[in-house]
Amino acid sequence: TWFTIETCYIFHVANCWQEDDNTIVMVAVRWDDIDMSGLVTTPKLVDRHKRLWSYTFHLDSGNLEEMDLSPPDMQMIEFPVVHQGKVGRKCRWIYAVGRCDSTEPEFHRVFKFDLQTGQFASFAF
């Protein structure tokens, strides 16, 4: 089964699990664009908008649900993780590093996303 989504780039998956016989959920960081030409004519990679997304694949129907989990004002997150005991299993919490806007240093915050409530917290350091 092929699933059609808007063009994007996914390098880092936080977690993926099977909900039932026909449903798989993947939570990952989505890049909307990247210059992979080798001719760096675009801003640094860290200046790209990278956000946490949830993808729910319905194997029986071929439908796909996409949801942006990041708050509207969040500019960039990367390197998402879950507790190692939850890898491949349904989880509630996703952690990642990043920043809220371009005035902050790169990877200035740790973010904690609650997949159950949709809320998040950030901790600057």
User: What's the predicted TM-score (pTM) here?
Assistant: 0.85
- Reference 122, options 83, 88, 93, 95; nearest CA is 95
Is it the case that residue 5 has pLDDT exceeding 90? Answer: no
- Reference 62, options 17, 1, 6, 21; nearest CA is 1
Lowest mean pLDDT among 1-5, 40-44, 52-56, 97-101: 40-44
> Residues 69-121: pLDDT tens digits?
987 777 788 999 999 999 999 999 999 998 877 777 778 889 999 999 999 88
- Reference 27, options 118, 121, 109, 94; nearest CA is 94
Cα–Cα distance measured from residue 2 to residue 59, given in angstroms and rounded to the nearest whole number: 9
DSSP annotation of 105 reads P
Cα–Cα distance measured from residue 116 to residue 73, given in angstroms and rounded to the nearest whole number: 21
Task: Considering only residues 45 and 107, tell me which one the structure prediction assigns the higher pLDDT.
Answer: 107
